[in-house]
Amino acid sequence: MDEAGIGIWGVPLAIFAGAIRVSTPFIFVSLGESITERSGRINLGLEGTLVFGAMTAYAIAVMSNSPWLGVFAAMATGAVFGLIHGFICKFPKVNDIAIGIAMMQFGLGLAFFLGKPFIQPVAPHLPSIPLGGWSDLPQIQSALNINVLFIIGGLLSVMLWWAFKNTRVGLVLRVVGDSSDAARAMGLNPDSVRLLATAVGGSLAAVGGAYLSLFYPGSWNEGISSGQGLMAVALVIFARWNPIGCFLAALLFGGAGALGPALQSVGVTQGYYLFYAAPYVLTLVILVATSSPTRSLAGAPGALSITK
């Protein structure tokens, strides 16, 4: 038996592999959302963008036989979704959260409608990098078979963290997100900045979708997302709008999510369904533990509609 080769070590290994596998879409959606929220706007529609991105990526990959073309097509459609959200929110008395929910439903519906013909065909998968060649154990080799998007996501989070502090674009984004008045006094147009930030956020969220349909689980159907787009929005708040925090939170979330299947694989048969709830319980516990009634949420962009 394969499992017997490493015995109980299968659990942490499975959690590690699961963390990487499950976390990738969370990484992209939460990085995208952190950009959008840092500009002072919340895009709750990312769930719709994610599913639409999954569909687009899959469809284009099927037609062109190139998974990367699929990813880029998904980014383009994600940006369009972001632009629509940003454009509508520009008008006075429009609530970004309500528009986000509408955009989510719109994205889901449109993806299912356009995606019907692509449920059957098989698309090429995104590549992964085998980093486990040094080991003889197949379990370790498969666990260290790391997908390219995860690595890109990790690099992107460090880059964004750096960019928020060290680039003009990053500072402008934070200024707009923190104080619309200060931004206007500086001659910046908060609406344009937010429009672009929402578009970039949408395109990153769509990459998360492309991962779902082109890598893991690696097929297109209507049940492809289990709320990653929505949970990622919560992850951003959990990570206090810090891109590296988003990356770590996504990993933690992914690892907790892999706990159930991992226990199942080593033969725990009783109550492992309970462990499927682990990510959500963990999120609640950490949020409660790190919050304080006397301090306001550190790092929250001041112009967000939830903090105003």
Partner 1 sequence: MIQIRDTPLPRAGKAVGIQTVGMTMHFGSFTALDNVSIDIPAGTFHALLGENGAGKSTLVKCIMGFYHQTSGSLSVDGHEVSVQSPKDAATYGLGMVYQQFTLVPSLTGAENLVINRAHVPAIINWAKERKDLATFMERMPFKIPLDRSVSELAAGEKQKLEIVKQLYLGRSFLILDEPTSVLTPAEADEMLGLVRGMTERGELTVLMISHKFHEVTKFADAVTVLRRGKMAGSGLVKDLSTKDMASMMIGDVKLAELDTRLPVPADAKPILVISDIKAPDRTGLKMIDIGNLTVHAGEIVGIAGISGNGQKELAEVLAGQRPPEAGSITVKGLLYGATRQETRINNVRFIPEEPLNNACAPKMTVTENLAFRTFDVKKQGGDALWLDMKSMRKRAASLISDFKVKTASHSSPIASLSGGNVQRAVLARELTGDVDLLIVSNPCFGLDFSAVAEIRARIMRARNSGTAVLLLSEDLDELLEMSDRIMVMSDGKLVYETPALSADIGVIGAHMAGHH
Does residue 192 interact with partner 1 by CB under 8 A? no
What's the distance, CA 152 to chain centroid? 13
Measured CA to CA, the distance from residue 128 to residue 144 in angstroms comes to 10
Looking from the CA of 18 toward its CB, the CA atoms found within 13 Å total 21
Q: Write the CB contacts of 12 (distance below 8 Å, at least 6 apart in sequence).
A: none
Inter-CA distances, 157 with 1, 53, 160, 194, 251, Å = 39, 20, 5, 20, 12
Q: Which is nearer to partner 1, 269 or 296 (CB)?
A: 296
Q: Which is nearer to partner 1, 62 or 303 (CB)?
A: 303
Does residue 185 interact with partner 1 by CB under 8 A? yes
Q: Which is nearer to partner 1, 53 or 301 (CB)?
A: 301
Q: Does the CA dihedral 50-55-60-62 come out positive or negative?
A: positive
Q: Position of tokens 């500086």?
A: 186
**How many chain residues interact with partner 1 (CB under 8 A)?**
22
Q: Which is nearer to partner 1, 185 or 274 (CB)?
A: 185
Does residue 174 interact with partner 1 by CB under 8 A? yes
Q: Please, what is the minimum distance in Å from the beta carbon of residue 90 to partner 1?
A: 20
Near partner 1 in 153-172, by CB under 8 A: 165-169, 171-172
| Binds partner 1 by CB under 8 A, chosen from 86, 209, 257, 301 | 301
Q: Please, what is the minimum distance in Å from the beta carbon of residue 196 to partner 1?
A: 15
Does residue 299 interact with partner 1 by CB under 8 A? yes
For 39, the token pair is 């500009």
| Binds partner 1 by CB under 8 A, chosen from 4, 91, 294, 308 | 294
Q: Which is nearer to partner 1, 63 or 163 (CB)?
A: 163
Measured CA to CA, the distance from residue 273 to residue 270 in angstroms comes to 8
Report whether 259 contacts 278 (CB < 8 A): yes
Does residue 181 interact with partner 1 by CB under 8 A? yes
Contacting positions for partner 1 (CB under 8 A):
165-169, 171-172, 174-175, 178-179, 181-182, 185-187, 293-295, 299, 301-302
